[in-house]
Structure 1
Amino acid sequence: MLILTNGRVITQDQNNPYIENGAVVIKKEKIVAIGNTEEILKKYPDEEIIDVENKIIMPGIINTHHHIYSAFARGMASKGKAPKDFIEILEGLWWKIDKKLTLEDLKYSAYTTYIDCIKNGVTTVFDHNASPYAVKNSLFTIANVAQKLGLRTCLCYEVSDRDGEEILKDGIDENINFIKEYNNNSQNMIKGMFGLHAAFTLSDESLAMCREKMKGINAGYHVHVAEGKADLEDSLKKYGKRVVERLNEFGILGKKTLAVHCIHVDDNELNILKNTDTYVVHNPESNMGNAVGCQPFLKLFEKGIITGLGTDGYTSDMFESMKVANIIHKHVNQNPSVAWGEVPEAMFKNNRKIAGEYFEGELGILKEGALADVIVVDYDPLTPLTENNINSHILFGMMGRSVVTTIINGKVVMKDRKLIEIDEKEIFKQSRTVAQKLWDRM
């Protein structure tokens, strides 16, 4: 067993939200006890101890929408014209990069992104991959990296018409093969979803094909929904329907599906999302960076739609996304009193619910019987920290790089900012070499 002691424990358990001088006891992949340090040590006197020295102990963070494949765009010079809208960003950057990706690129994109996640306290990642000329085994390549690093992840490949029918079918097969391999076995670290790019890059025939292939498959869809106006305009022009309406007609929505973004949606579409129990994921930094608009986040909550928080590849720091989510809705609504409750609910409660659709056991919470995904954050509060002001301290006092220790499934994968049994410097050195080769091909 392993015991974290002398910590300020933020549990995310409403029945026991905060312990001032707390300890967490871990046995194998589960938390077996939580309580006051002195009492815990009396009960478990001879176990391995990590004294966190009054730092914060809290649940590992869940990111419900990421893009590992986008990693090598960082620092890359743009050779085209400056984009004026979202479609030009897609055509001028992302759809050029994804066509050049190899399995080696994906391998090192996964290594470096997952390491960044671990170092930012993210222990579970839902990723959405695109590599049209390296589709086969792309998800298995990424999963292999996650297994080596010990990170929990749910993967999918984005099916799209834009690269032709053969690649579309390859994407369908990669999703189905991966889901069959990982969703029907006993392990609880790697799972799969069926990825779709977006409605505007999928014909009715393609959506029908995807639906047919998903019959009897234990997974939902992971799809970008009404992210830019072009998605809505395309749907209205070609099909006379709004995006959510069209996806619903093809059975894409439902209990295990992630509808990512949902910016350009109307009230009827929100009702559809609610009535189908579809999950929505908010990505505030990416939306601002792409200038696509602001999700009607507060209205989603009013409707009772379970909305989580992701990063969309923009960053791996979920604390950062939480900060931006908090202020963007105040700014857009011109009301400084909104989003205080909804944002932490999205990050800490709703992301937990989304993860619960794919992983057995409780994630995102510290309590007896929960999965032992735990982080230690180097934060010494300058004002009293109590169960009534936890979210304020997280929002204004913590950031991803404040995380010093990350434990996933009961295993210490990072301690004192150093990954265990992983040569991080060598991986990043190789990554720079591989990235340069990609840039040279662009």
Structure 2
Amino acid sequence: MLIKNGTIVTFNVENTIIENGAVYIKDNIIKDVGESSKLEIKYKEEDSLDAKGKIVMPGLICSHYHAYSALARGMILDGEPASNFIEVLRRVWWRLDKKLTLEDVYYSGLVSAIDAVKNGTTTLIDHHASPYACTGSLEKLSKAFSKVGVRGNYCYEVSERDGMDIAKEGLLENYSFIKKCKDNKNDLITGSFGLHASFTVSDETLKEAVSMRDELDCGFHVHVSEGNMDEELSQYNYGKSVVKRLENMKVLGEKTIAVHGVNIGKEDVDILKKTNSIVVHNPESNMNNAVGIPPILDMLDKDILVGLGTDGFTGNMFREIDNLYVVHKLIKGDPRVMSVPETIKIAINNNGEIVKRLFGKPAGVVEEGAFADLIVVDYNSPTPFNSSNAGGHLIFGMNSNNVISTIINGKIVMQDRKLVNIDEETVMKKSREVSKNLWNRLADN
């Protein structure tokens, strides 16, 4: 397929922009990028998508997500509002995940994938929990994402908070799903080994998970020091920080995602660098839960691979990028911090590198050899648009409503705002029914 007549914003090392450009895709990989007039002759026999002068850029990536949170949208629970992070977990998310069925999991996946595609997000790295519908849940979720056409990495969060039997079921769910991914070699579907957080997993369970991980040759996906309790319990029970404990237990590494890191110290940052681990920042969720903001600037100074996610708060990465750009200025009281280039590095370049570590090929860039995950953006700039200021236009000008077409793995999944693979209205109607039943089960609890 040839995407022609576009303004190609590559986000490559040179920040190349090609006016009247084209992108040639073969199978699921970008094979050629250049001037439209030349590529149209070179690939004249290929099917084409006319970008009609619009911007063609890499699809956005969400490096930490919780699809099941989609069914909580608009939900009102009884009782007093949560006053701290552990109450948020106990009164909202740990109540909700216990009531999920496999049908709920499937529809939360469909809804999340639809939302992602419409917002220009082409990859979701998901962290799932449904303790009383554990076995088969990752298969349901991956089928939902794949039906819409979204690239996904999946894990099940192992936790002992619902008992050891469920923890062991979570271990097996991760193992069987990841092994199946390894056997099937589907570029749209990969698996990581999920852990909830240090404070809900014992050393014994971690040892078993690490043994499975070693056999499967994958990474972990784990919440790290999101709230103070995680750090406090780690110090109390093990005499060390969360990061140090995870290092000692051999959880960290180049394919492991350490999510949040709000309360980590300088020694922890050094450990994350030494182990070449991934950190994923979720600014909007951190603000909403009032847990604080992690030392992302220090991590960037250490050249740690810091990516951007939403924690399930939204599938709209344009919105998350805006929050990333402004919140560190507020926290530091300094408008100079978190510059446009730093913001783009985290949200576009680093997220693309995370995909490369988990899927084997680069994303987040329009260049030969990268996954063909692209979006067409109808952004009519009121000011000059060039390679030196494209990042500023992304932050201050573009938004998810500008996304008109989405291509994932070389296939069109949305064209002119219409989803290709699925009937959105039918899904949403059914999802309202499914979520209503879920809310009723919660109210009966």
Instruction: Give the TM-score band, short-chain normalised.
Output: over 0.9
Aligned AA (2:234): S
| Aligned positions, number | 441
Aligned AA (2:133): A
SS at match of 1:109: helix
Q: Which residue of 1 aligns with 2:401?
A: 401
- 1:258 matched to 2:257? The reply is yes
- 1:133 matched to 2:145? The reply is no
- 1:424 matched to 2:424? The reply is yes
Aligned AA (2:186): Q
Q: Which residue of 2 aligns with 1:164?
A: 163
SS at match of 1:271: helix
Distance 1:31 1:205 in 2: 45
CA shift for structure 1 position 47: 3.2
| Structure-2 change in CA distance of 1:391 and 1:217 (3 Å) | same
Residues 193 and 221 of structure 2 are in contact (CA less than 8 Å); yes or no, is this contact kept in structure 1? Answer: yes
Distance 2:2 2:214 in 1: 45
- The range that moved more, 7-16 or 265-274, is 7-16
SS at match of 1:214: helix
| Structure-2 change in CA distance of 1:37 and 1:212 (3 Å) | closer
Distance 1:232 1:17 in 2: 43
- 1:13 matched to 2:15? The reply is no
SS at match of 1:154: strand
Summarize the alignment of residues 60-99 of structure 1 with structure 2, pairs less than 5 Å apart.
60-99=59-98
Q: Which residue of 1 aligns with 2:375?
A: 375
Summarize the alignment of residues 269-308 of structure 1 with structure 2, pairs less than 5 Å apart.
269-308=268-307
SS at match of 1:187: coil
CA shift for structure 1 position 398: 1.0
Distance 2:313 2:145 in 1: 20
Distance 2:183 2:331 in 1: 44
Q: Which residue of 1 aligns with 2:120?
A: 121
Distance 2:361 2:78 in 1: 47
Distance 1:44 1:104 in 2: 44
SS at match of 1:53: coil
Distance 1:86 1:371 in 2: 37
RMSD: 1.2
* Per-residue Cα deviation, 1:273-323 (whole angstroms, up to 9, x for no partner): 000001100000000000000111101101111100001000001111110
- The range that moved more, 204-213 or 312-321, is 204-213
- The range that moved more, 333-342 or 35-44, is 35-44
Aligned AA (1:124): T
Q: Which residue of 1 aligns with 2:387?
A: 387
Distance 1:198 1:410 in 2: 36
Q: Which residue of 2 aligns with 1:365?
A: 365
CA shift for structure 1 position 128: 0.1
Distance 2:421 2:189 in 1: 20
Residues 147 and 421 of structure 2 are in contact (CA less than 8 Å); yes or no, is this contact kept in structure 1? Answer: no
Distance 2:40 2:207 in 1: 59
Q: Which residue of 2 aligns with 1:343?
A: 343
Distance 1:95 1:239 in 2: 25
CA shift for structure 1 position 424: 0.6
Sequence identity percentage: 46
Distance 1:237 1:215 in 2: 29
TM-score (norm 2): 0.97
Q: What 5-or-longer segments of structure 1 have no aligned partner?
A: none
Distance 1:327 1:251 in 2: 35
Q: What 5-or-longer segments of structure 2 have no aligned partner?
A: none
- 1:200 matched to 2:179? The reply is no
* Per-residue Cα deviation, 1:41-75 (whole angstroms, up to 9, x for no partner): 23233433322222110011111100001111111
Aligned AA (1:392): G
CA shift for structure 1 position 16: 5.8
CA shift for structure 1 position 212: 2.8
Residues 278 and 305 of structure 1 are in contact (CA less than 8 Å); yes or no, is this contact kept in structure 2? Answer: yes
CA shift for structure 1 position 130: 0.5
Q: Which residue of 2 aligns with 1:229?
A: 228
SS at match of 1:25: strand
CA shift for structure 1 position 146: 1.9
Aligned AA (2:13): Q
Summarize the alignment of residues 174-185 of structure 1 with structure 2, pairs less than 5 Å apart.
174-185=173-184
Distance 1:211 1:260 in 2: 18
Q: Which residue of 1 aligns with 2:104?
A: 105
TM-score (norm 1): 0.98
Residues 198 and 231 of structure 1 are in contact (CA less than 8 Å); yes or no, is this contact kept in structure 2? Answer: yes
* Per-residue Cα deviation, 1:299-352 (whole angstroms, up to 9, x for no partner): 110111110000100000111111000000111111111111222101111111
Residues 322 and 343 of structure 1 are in contact (CA less than 8 Å); yes or no, is this contact kept in structure 2? Answer: yes
* Per-residue Cα deviation, 1:339-379 (whole angstroms, up to 9, x for no partner): 11222101111111111112132222111232211110110
CA shift for structure 1 position 78: 1.8
SS at match of 1:78: coil
Residues 148 and 421 of structure 2 are in contact (CA less than 8 Å); yes or no, is this contact kept in structure 1? Answer: no
Q: Which residue of 1 aligns with 2:141?
A: 142
Distance 1:295 1:371 in 2: 30
- The range that moved more, 4-13 or 409-418, is 4-13
Distance 1:196 1:211 in 2: 11
Distance 2:436 2:117 in 1: 24
Aligned AA (1:218): D
Distance 1:285 1:63 in 2: 13
* Per-residue Cα deviation, 1:147-196 (whole angstroms, up to 9, x for no partner): 22221110000000100010000000000001100024332110000000
- The range that moved more, 416-425 or 279-288, is 416-425
SS at match of 1:215: helix
SS at match of 1:358: helix
